[in-house]
Amino acid sequence: TLQDRTSKVLVFVSNKNLADELAYKLYGEGFATESMHGGRNQFERDAALESFKKNEVRLLVATDVMGRGLDIPDISHVVIYDMGDVDDYIHRIGRTARGLTGRPGHALTLFEYNQKWPELAGGLAKVLEESGQPVPEELARIAQEVQQGGRKVVERVPAAKKVKKGWQDWNAGATGQNPPRWSSRGWESLR
């Protein structure tokens, strides 16, 4: 727990707004908390990280700006507030218990089924199984339902396709312009 002066908790979230909001709420509950994300300038990120390393702050809410390339010893707990993909999960929980002598580290993942990422439940269950960790019954059930077609799945459209489609719709001359608003003939055709 955070009352234990040796605990150091790292919470991963998906975006900078959530990092700031959650850190603010935790601070309001009496926890010495900082946030760290790409929306903060380098000085602010360095200061937050240094405070966390020196145990001045025992709870750090971070995006993946924190996830790669930084080594912080003595993290006793990692909380994954927003589940990314399985590779992110593995990297994030790998931060647990670095440098803790003889004490176990703890990882807590908050998982919610997302129709756009149906494979995530099965991937997470597989990682847990392979690492000898118990697979929660609910997670196993969700993975099985997805595999058997019992869960709704929404096809993801890559962002690039959405942009291209939007551009094509706009360019096609929804206003009936001919030639289209943009032309491969170059700017000369628009004069």
CATH code of the domain containing 40? 3.40.50.300
* Whether residue 163 sits in one domain with residue 131: no
Residue 4 lies in a domain: no
* Whether residue 110 sits in one domain with residue 77: yes
3-state secondary structure of 47: helix
* Whether residue 163 sits in one domain with residue 70: no
* Whether residue 51 sits in one domain with residue 122: yes
Q: pLDDT-based confidence at 59, cuts 50/70/90? A: very high
* Whether residue 105 sits in one domain with residue 181: no
Is pLDDT of 145 > 80?
Answer: yes
Q: Give the pLDDT confidence score for residue 104 in this predicted structure.
A: 74
Q: Is the backbone peptide bond immediately before 179 cis, with ω within 30 degrees of 0?
A: yes
E strand spans, the chain:
9-12, 33-36, 59-62, 77-80, 106-109
Residue of 165, 27, 10 whose CA lies nearest to 76: 10
Pairing of strands 9-12, 77-80: parallel
Q: Find the Cα–Cα–Cα–Cα dihedral 113, 114, 116, 121, rounded to 10°.
A: -30
Residue 2 lies in a domain: no
* Whether residue 115 sits in one domain with residue 163: no
Alpha helices, DSSP H only, in 131-186?
137-147, 159-171
Is pLDDT of 77 > 50?
Answer: yes
Q: Give the pLDDT confidence score for residue 180 in this predicted structure.
A: 46
Residue 137 lies in a domain: yes
Residue 104 lies in a domain: yes
* Whether residue 25 sits in one domain with residue 105: yes
* Whether residue 60 sits in one domain with residue 115: yes
Residue 154 lies in a domain: no
Return the structure tokens found at 4: 């234990």
Instruction: Please give the C-alpha separations between residue 174 and each of 125, 160, 183, 188, 191, in angstroms, as whole numbers.
Output: 47, 21, 15, 21, 20
Residue 180 lies in a domain: yes
Residues 6+ apart with CB under 8 A from 52: 8, 10, 34, 36, 58, 60, 72
Q: Are 67 and 88 in contact (CB under 8 A)?
A: yes
Total domains, the chain: 2
Q: Which domain holds residue 28?
A: 9-147
Is pLDDT of 153 > 70?
Answer: yes
* Whether residue 19 sits in one domain with residue 89: yes
* Whether residue 164 sits in one domain with residue 102: no
Is pLDDT of 185 > 50?
Answer: no
* Whether residue 117 sits in one domain with residue 76: yes
* Whether residue 134 sits in one domain with residue 58: yes
